Structure 1
Amino acid sequence: MLKGILTLLVFQFVGECLAKLFMLKVPGAIIGMVLLLFFLILRKQSFHALDTSVFWLLRYLPLFILPSGVGIITQFDTIAHEALAIVCALVIGTFISLGVSAKIMDSLIAKKEQNHEH
């Protein structure tokens, strides 16, 4: 499990370094996750220590979300002032992501059916 947590921390560290080095507006943790995704795609499989660590972290995910919930409460005045824009962005973003997901799923199903015919 230590090897898995160390792997996650290394990818987060590399992501943070890249974000600072190139002055990117994307958080380093996100860059690290994308790098980890590419690493796992190239490797074509995960490894047991990483799977165990991720499972353990997901078990306690609600505890990791609590600080951001508290942060939202401290910004209540800003959220109340921008409530209409936030709701519009959430609704429009949801419909866009649903549409894109449905289109991708439709094309994947069509491709799978086409492969089964041949």
Structure 2
Amino acid sequence: MKGTASVILHLTTILIFQLIGETLARSFGLIIPGPVLGMALLLAFFIAVPRAAASIQPTAQGLLSHLSLLFVPAGVGIVGHLDRLGTDGPAILLALAVSTALAIAVGALVFSGLSKLMGASE
């Protein structure tokens, strides 16, 4: 029973940090999404208390291994709206292609800028 209790405690810890981030983001009207802020706070907690990070890691790995289950509702939604995909499909495809290209370009520029800032040789 100790194993189950620790998994529940670890999941509760992760969710509490998400709640804290969500509360801070909404309370102060921040542009950073609450879950992202919560994840940053969780990272700071892990840096401050490395033993907690080592303890929560197996539970987090288990959660990440089943992350694909979260994409099932999106797949069901697509199947449920196939008729719209026929009419709006080209616009959706164009938006996906452009946003993906922009995300890759911005990522490359940020990486390039950070490597120059950190003094890494090319």
When normalised by structure 1's length, the TM-score is 0.70
The more displaced of 8-17 and 101-110 is 8-17
The alignment status of 1:55 with 2:55, answered yes or no, reads: no
Q: Which has the higher contact order (CA 8 A, sep 6+)?
A: 1
8 Å Cα contact 2:10/2:56 also seen in 1: yes
What are the residue-to-residue correspondences of 1:1-118 with 2, within 5 Å?
1-13=7-19, 31=34, 33-43=35-45, 45=47, 47-113=53-119
8 Å Cα contact 1:4/1:53 also seen in 2: yes
Counterpart amino acid of residue 84 in structure 1: P
Aligned length: 108
When normalised by structure 2's length, the TM-score is 0.68
1:6-46 per-residue CA deviation (whole Å, 9 max, x = no partner) reads 12333445567678x77x9x9xxx52x21322313433526
Unmatched tracts of structure 1, length 5 or more:
none
Alignment root-mean-square deviation, CA: 2.9
Unmatched tracts of structure 2, length 5 or more:
1-6
8 Å Cα contact 2:17/2:42 also seen in 1: no
Residues 14/77 of structure 1: CA separation in 2 closer, same or farther (3 Å cut)? farther
